[in-house]
Structure 1
Amino acid sequence: MTTPARRVRRTGRRRFDLRATAVYFGLLALVVCATGLAVRTAIAAVERRPVWQAALCLVAVSSALVLRRRRRSLSAARAARRAAAALEAATRTTLEALETPAAQPPPPSVPRQAVPRDDTVEAGEGAVGYDALDADEFEQAVAALCARDGCTGVDVVGGAGDLGADVLAVTPDGRRLVVQCKRYSEDNRVGSQDLQRFGGTCWTVHEADVAVLVTTSDFTAPAAEYAEQCGIRCLDRAALEAWSDGTGPAPWTPAGDGTH
């Protein structure tokens, strides 16, 4: 009589694998060491530059999201490789942040002066080369002379719609000074029409106490006569150069007074 073979049931338990366990704990130790190195580097970066705290937080959050989204079915080796890659990226970002120089603040801006002081008009240094100046530069040079000799509130207002006033100022004795500048060549003298246009605005519009017309040229006889009748003071090239080099009076100085 044949005895039937007895069927052996297979249990669901897996056989203990020493090699796999050793590999798992070795990888785990590597992850712990890499984590410690990254944390140490991050702490040093935060102490030097607190602004990188936000960057490190973003890296940490990204790493946490990646670890959370992995599935349990992933092997220990695959999880270790992903963790090592994330830690390597975080370490590289931190090292790049440490090597990047901090941004320097911009230099403070220098306020612009209304009328800069021009060293070329200092007394005793000779006449300025007015022939080399254009009309705007000539107005600036005259304004610098006014400021040099004690005028306050010096302002260059020449341009379109200036109604004859190129420089406005207050003389050292408190009078309102209105100056018109004519940058003319030597063969182009200031005529009576120029004086008439200036005389029609300097007193009524600009309320001048002292009205001066200064030129790099000269005045015609009718222009000089009209200026004398209206009380406008005229400075031709010779008087301008004397004022510039300190040998002549300022145009607002009363007649007979050579000081300024």
Structure 2
Amino acid sequence: MAGRGRGRGAAARRRRVARLRAVAVGGGLVLVLLVVFWSVVWPYLTAAMLLGGVAAAGWWLWRTDRFLRGRDRMWRHEEAVKAGHRTLAEVDAMTGTEFEELVAGLCRRDGCTDVRRVGGANDNGADVVGRLPDGRSMVIQCKRYAPTSTIASRELRDLLGAKVHFDADLAVFVTTTRFSRPSENFALRHGILAVHRDHLGLWNNGTSLLSLSAVNGQGQGDSRHRARWKQA
């Protein structure tokens, strides 16, 4: 057994030596050919080296540009959050129109386009309209109610009608209070993004509107949590 093991080890060493010799011979042959045909080869080698250098420099510049642009976008977003930040107490003290303007400003901050406030006597159930960063159209209903109030299902039905009227891809309901359980279920069933008070706080503090869709229908807590929340 020991003899067979030593034999296999010797064979492996011989194979490694043979491979090294083959590599050395191949490298030497390439070197000889380069020397012999240098006058023919050198322009191509020089061009390849230049192209490689240009490609490397271009890649580095592209990476640097992406990094700087990313840092600039992040800085601009942070500054926009700071400039537009309001405490929920300040939001509670706003008029309905001021609240609609705040929501429109948050949409613009997140990269939404064609954002405009349309709230008024004949708003057809919409307060803000625009386009999401991905190009989809949206319609938003804003309700600045007291924190102790509750959004009923009928108000979300009105928003669903506005979605049809404006032929929007996404309907969003933003409020300073909470949704009743039936209205929350209605929103989830019909694809309405329901932004209650807690989610409004997240949005106001820098979270993007679209990211709130991942927690739609969540975050209002149980009855004890809501009781404490109403007292705050």
TM-score class normalised by the smaller sequence:
0.5 to 0.7
Pairing partner for 1:231 from 188, 191, 194: 191
Distance 2:161 2:114 in 1: 24
Q: What displacement does 1:251 show?
A: 4.2
Pairing partner for 2:162 from 198, 201, 205: 201
In structure 1, runs of 5+ residues without a counterpart are 1-118
How do 1:25-44 and structure 2 match up within 5 A?
none
Q: Measured at CA, do residues 123 and 253 of structure 1 come closer, stay the same or move farther in structure 2, by a change above 3 Å?
A: farther
Judge conservation of contact 1:181–1:214 (CA < 8 Å) in 2. Answer: yes
Judge conservation of contact 1:139–1:181 (CA < 8 Å) in 2. Answer: yes
Q: What displacement does 1:253 show?
A: 5.9
**Cα deviation digits, residues 162-213 of structure 1 (max 9, x gap):** 11110011111101011100010011111111111111221x2111111100
- Asked if 1:255 is matched to 2:223, the reply is no
- Asked if 1:214 is matched to 2:174, the reply is yes
CA RMSD of aligned residues (A): 2.2
Judge conservation of contact 1:127–1:242 (CA < 8 Å) in 2. Answer: no
Q: Measured at CA, do residues 225 and 153 of structure 1 come closer, stay the same or move farther in structure 2, by a change above 3 Å?
A: same
Pairing partner for 1:177 from 123, 138, 148: 138
What percent identity do the matched residue pairs reach?
42
- 120-129 or 166-175, which moves further after superposition? 120-129
Judge conservation of contact 2:187–2:193 (CA < 8 Å) in 1. Answer: yes
Distance 2:114 2:84 in 1: 25
Distance 1:170 1:207 in 2: 12
How do 1:99-118 and structure 2 match up within 5 A?
none
How do 1:44-123 and structure 2 match up within 5 A?
121-122=81-82
**Cα deviation digits, residues 80-121 of structure 1 (max 9, x gap):** xxxxxxxxxxxxxxxxxxxxxxxxxxxxxxxxxxxxxxx885
- Asked if 1:165 is matched to 2:126, the reply is yes
Q: Measured at CA, do residues 184 and 231 of structure 1 come closer, stay the same or move farther in structure 2, by a change above 3 Å?
A: same
SS at match of 2:142: strand
Distance 2:153 2:136 in 1: 26
Judge conservation of contact 1:180–1:198 (CA < 8 Å) in 2. Answer: yes
Judge conservation of contact 2:110–2:208 (CA < 8 Å) in 1. Answer: no
Q: What displacement does 1:233 show?
A: 0.6
Q: Measured at CA, do residues 228 and 147 of structure 1 come closer, stay the same or move farther in structure 2, by a change above 3 Å?
A: same
Pairing partner for 1:146 from 98, 102, 107: 107
Distance 1:238 1:191 in 2: 17
SS at match of 1:122: helix
Q: Measured at CA, do residues 120 and 171 of structure 1 come closer, stay the same or move farther in structure 2, by a change above 3 Å?
A: closer
Q: What displacement does 1:132 show?
A: 1.4
Judge conservation of contact 1:215–1:237 (CA < 8 Å) in 2. Answer: yes
Q: Measured at CA, do residues 141 and 175 of structure 1 come closer, stay the same or move farther in structure 2, by a change above 3 Å?
A: same
Of the two, which has the highest radius of gyration?
1
Aligned to 1:187: 148
Q: Measured at CA, do residues 210 and 123 of structure 1 come closer, stay the same or move farther in structure 2, by a change above 3 Å?
A: farther
Distance 1:212 1:252 in 2: 13
- Asked if 1:241 is matched to 2:198, the reply is no
| TM-score after normalising by structure 2 | 0.54
Aligned to 1:92: none
Distance 2:205 2:211 in 1: 16
Please list every run of at least 4 consecutive aligned residues from structure 1 whose deviation after the TM superposition is greater than 6 angstroms.
none
Letter in 2 for 1:122: K
